[in-house]
Amino acid sequence: MKTRHCKIKPLQNRRLQLTVVLQMAAAVTLQAQSPSADSFNPGPGSGWPSTSVSCLAVQPDGKILVGGRFNQIGGLGRTNIARLYSSGMADTNFSPTVIGGFASAEVKCLAVQTNGQIVVGGSFAALGGQIRKNIGRLNADGSVDMTFNPGIDGGPVKTLAVQNDGKILLSGGFFTVGGLSRRFIARLNSDGTVDTNFNAQANNLVSYVVPQPDGQILVGGDFTKIGGQFRTNMSRLNADGTLDSSFNPALVGTVYPRLVLSDQRIIVDGVFSCSSEPTAYNVALLNANGSVNSCPGSGGSGGASPCISSASIAVQADGKILLAGSFTNLWGQPRKYMARLNASGTLDTNFTAGADFLVQALAVQADGKILVGGSFSALAGVNRSCIGRLNSTNSFAIQTLEFENSRLAGTPGKSAPIARANFGRFAGSSSVNLKPEHTIAPNPLRFAQLSENCASQVDLLQSNR
């Protein structure tokens, strides 16, 4: 039998019965594509240093929280914090302001609690018209939580993280919290009072706090001592704030913990070397005990501080790892301020989307689309000011496809869904070469259009991959 060529194009039509007569096994080549920018364009205007998006968070209802330095976004005036609908329009019912601070006010981090309240950290003097020094909390409607006012002296709050028990970890350049000495790291009870049982004082800036599911806490920064013990840049604390003495990764240089994966591996980045290679910007995966799981090797360039905010690393549903920062090259491959790693820690060569300037924030929506924030004016080759969104793509390249059921009904060139697709290896003497115009993800169900030169159509079994 001769090879049949079918062009497949995803559509958003209701489910129909896709059909034809075909009695053969077939190999299908799916070309993975780098994601493109979609129509989401709420841009706040000119970029860095006067305007930037520093942090992003997606609420359970799909609305998007945005923090940074701006005075309008989504078509409405908003001062340094906003909430957007998925369309990019600003939520008219959410309009708190963030003003004042050591220099110009900036929201540097956001954390959404399970009750819908939003903890806001950064450099500011007032939140929603109420005096709040560098940290405050909003109710779900954007009003200020009048009961939450820890009071911070010193520098800004750089990162926030909510533990499973509802307690709130914070780090940054501060010295006291709630009138108590808490140098660079602290923990609050859910009501905003200082947790007096946690006192892990550091001797210099703590930039990252990452809670583990077991209650232990990964910490990264510019310190050489924390919890009363010597540790350089990275450590792990027990739930009570004491140092976990068993955790001391053997990486040479400055190493920052960024994220704990579902399999307990730890993503770290910084300026370090895993071996005898020159110290440079790097990303590695550590095992839960701190030993190296994967370290492809030094080779990043373009900036000394590649990951600027705690939101600049995110994990997709398929386990792939998104990176953002000031790099323009990663492991010998050009990558402009964004990159994606495979779950193994190697560079995903199919992801080449980038920006024309610094990317500071990433968030993945439930539908797989990727929110991107920073100081750029273009994203994936399209004009986008400081915020944009990338379409989701799947990650498979060449798969095999088995066709079942030989009798179907339908007409080439008409719209129909993929009804059943089984990706797996099989034997067959003939093949149908399906050339998708766009990559087709196995989940959720996508719709297909067959071109006129395809003499047969097939009933496909959706994969559970």
At residue 295, the pLDDT reads: 75
The amino acid occupying position 105 is: A
Specify if 139 maps to a domain: no
pLDDT digits (tens, 9 = 90+) for 238-273: 999 999 999 988 777 778 889 899 899 999 888 777
Name residues whose C-beta falls within 8 Å of residue 205's C-beta, 6 or more positions apart in sequence.
Answer: 155, 158, 172, 173, 184, 221, 222, 223
Mean pLDDT score of the chain: 77
SS3 content of the chain, % helix, strand, coil (to 5): 0, 40, 60
Name residues whose C-beta falls within 8 Å of residue 449's C-beta, 6 or more positions apart in sequence.
Answer: 7, 8, 9, 11, 413, 414, 415, 416
The amino acid occupying position 172 is: G
Specify if 442 maps to a domain: yes
Specify if 117 maps to a domain: no
Specify if 10 maps to a domain: yes
Specify if 24 maps to a domain: yes
Q: How far does Cα 62 stand from its chain's mean position?
A: 15
pLDDT digits (tens, 9 = 90+) for 2-38: 434 333 333 333 333 333 333 333 333 344 578 999 9
At residue 291, the pLDDT reads: 87
Distance separating alpha carbons of residues 429 and 1, to the nearest angstrom:
8
Specify if 431 maps to a domain: yes
The mean per-residue pLDDT over the stretch 335-340 comes to 91
pTM: 0.77
Specify if 459 maps to a domain: yes
Specify if 17 maps to a domain: yes
pLDDT digits (tens, 9 = 90+) for 376-434: 999 999 999 999 999 986 433 333 333 333 332 333 333 333 333 333 322 232 333 33
Q: Which domain, by its residues, includes 4? A: 1-32+394-465
Distance separating alpha carbons of residues 211 and 258, to the nearest angstrom:
10
**What total of structural domains would you count in the chain?**
1
Contact between residue 66 and residue 389 where contact means Cβ atoms under 8 Å apart: no
Distance separating alpha carbons of residues 292 and 252, to the nearest angstrom:
12
